[in-house]
Amino acid sequence: MMKFAVVSFPGSNCDEDLYYAIKDDLHEAATIVPHTTTDLSGFDVVLIPGGFSYGDYLRSGAIAKFAPVMPAVKTFAQAGRPVLGICNGFQILTEAGLLPGTLQHNRQMQFICEPEPLKVENNQTMFTSAFQDQQQITLPIAHGEGNYYCDEATLMRLRENHQIAFTYQNNPNGSVSDIAGITNEAGNVLGMMPHPERAVETIQGGTDGLLVFKSLLQAHLRTV
């Protein structure tokens, strides 16, 4: 069994969605680990869920980046092992410096909760290999601060290194270059605002999200 850790911070609210997506739909092993965990070495993947960690006080992700679990997340990422941050998890990973850029308030100041058409920009990552190149998919978004921002130099680097994993087809929030999800340069850390764990069963309106987790499983099976 592939072992997924779902890190739960005070204020996380998508941790159980992720847990059940892994357990009931991917049929692999999931464990919700508290923010006080200091060792993640027994896991194959670390998932940072959505929600409002620490109430989004100061800035979204600004307090979570100092949580006791974060040194272990950084060690895990620096070892080249997969780390996936979804929504607030993406915000936490940028604040922690594991991904470049920042998630700002949506340009229209509205919280958006909609199924959102996306495009897979890079299917050559461990998170996207189960998708077709340039595949058009739909995943739900649910955020008030999902407007990805980075400076020109960073954007050039993202493009040159093929770090843009997902883009919006109809940019809903003002993100630079329609960015919905990016990886780090090494390709083992992905942050994305859309929620793949909310699109894993047909009753949810679609199963495109399951392919993110299947990609991780395929990558894992190639290494064991």
Partner 1 sequence: MFLAQVHVTYKPSILDPQAVAIKNAMHRLAFDQVTAVRQGKYFEITLDVSTAEEAESQIEAICDQLLANPNMETYRYEVKELANQ
Question: Which one of 14, 87, 116, 121 is the catalytic residue?
Answer: 87
Residue 205, phi then psi, degrees to nearest 5: 100, 0
In the chain, the largest separation of any two C-alpha atoms, in whole Å, equals 47
CA 128 to chain centroid: 12
Residue 129 structure tokens = 């290999």
CA atoms within 13 A on the CB side of 172: 23
Question: Which one of 28, 95, 121, 197 is the catalytic residue?
Answer: 197
Distance CA 198, CA 144 (A): 17
Q: Coil, strand or helix: which one is 144?
A: coil
What letter would DSSP give residue 52? -
Distance CA 118, CA 124 (A): 17
**Which residue matches tokens 């919006």?**
168
Is residue 87 annotated as a catalytic residue, yes or no? yes
Is residue 145 annotated as a catalytic residue, yes or no? no
What residues line the site for partner 1 (CB under 8 A)? 58-59, 62, 66, 94-95, 101-102, 104-109, 147, 149-151, 174
With CA atoms as reference, report the closest residue to 28 among 11, 46, 55, 3. Answer: 3
Residue 67 structure tokens = 């949580």
Active site residues: 87, 195, 197
